[in-house]
Structure formats: C-alpha cells, structure tokens
Amino acid sequence: MFLGQINAQALHVQYKGSGPALNALISGEIDMLFDNYATAISFANSDQVKALALTSADTGSLNTTLPTLAVSGMPKFESLTWIGMLAPAGTPAATVAWINAEVAAVLSDRTLVARLTEMGLSPRRTTPETFGAFLRQQTSKVQQLVRENGIALE
C-alpha cells in the first residue's frame, strides 16, 4: 500500500515477528520497517531506531509527537494494527451482547485504559455492529490491495 502510493519498489523480507524484524532494522540488515507502535516505540525512545510516522489516520489516545502519514503528505494512507474479540458464527445475540457489555465495563476502568495507553495501545469501545462493519471495510481494503498488486499465496 505504501509503496504503491509513493510509486516505489522494495524487496519484502519476512520475519517471524517484531523482535527479529526490529533487530534487522537496528543492525542495518533492512532499511525500513512497518511495525506496531506498542512494540516499536521503546526502540525509538532508546534511539535504536528512528520513528518516522504513524500509519493510523489519527493519533487516537496516544501521547506522541509523531505525525501520521496522512498529515505528512499521504492523506489517503491508513494501515492499522488492531486487536478485537471475535466469536463463532451463530453465537446467540444475547451472548454477544453480554460479552460486549463486559468488555465495555473493563474499558471503563480509567486506570486500565491509562496503562494500555502507556503501553502504546489506543483502546476503544465499540459495538458488535460497528466492529463488524470495520472488519468488512478492512477485508475489502486488503482484497483490493491483493487484486491491484497481483499478490498470490506462496
């Protein structure tokens, strides 16, 4: 997505997680890395790597001076790392509503939200309907990216 928007090419190097990828960046084995904020920020804060921008549309609740790519000249760019709760298809609506209410209650705890934010996460309460719409939008976005770039499973 990034390379397409800046009309550039790069070799994609796969790593088994953020740790090995960040080590490769620090050692100069690779020149750039897209990683999630929560994992990479401690490396940036210790000056082992240079954080350039966030890939989200906004900074959310993060306490950061990093700009987003959107405000850095790529207004159509947004790539998110997210964590969500899913249940099997056919889970009774009452069960889904109960789980959602419990998660919302947990995310009402200001101490917990503050701690998650300190860790580089941006917790947000949502509804099953809103989260479902988000998942459909993200899936569509990735499918379009795969089609446009002729990406095939290996």
Q: What pLDDT digit, counting tens, does each position of 57-94 carry? A: 888 778 888 999 989 988 888 888 889 999 999 999 99
| pLDDT of 17 | 93
Q: How high is the mean pLDDT in each 10-residue block of the chain (154 residues)? A: 88 92 96 92 92 88 87 88 92 97 95 90 92 95 89 79
What is the set of domains in the chain, with CATH numbers? 1-81 (3.40.190.10), 82-154 (no CATH)
Q: What pTM was estimated for this model as a whole?
A: 0.78
- Per the DSSP assignment, residues forming a β-bridge with 68 are 54
Query: For position 50, what pLDDT does the model report?
Result: 94
**Contacts for 1-7: CB closer than 8 Å, 24+ residues apart:** 1/77, 1/79, 1/145, 2/34, 2/69, 2/74, 2/77, 2/79, 4/145, 4/148, 4/149, 5/74, 5/76, 5/77, 6/74
Spell out the residues 6+ positions from residue 103 whose beta carbon is closer than 8 angstroms to its own.
85, 125
Tell whether the torsion through CA atoms of 145, 148, 153 and 154 is positive or negative: negative
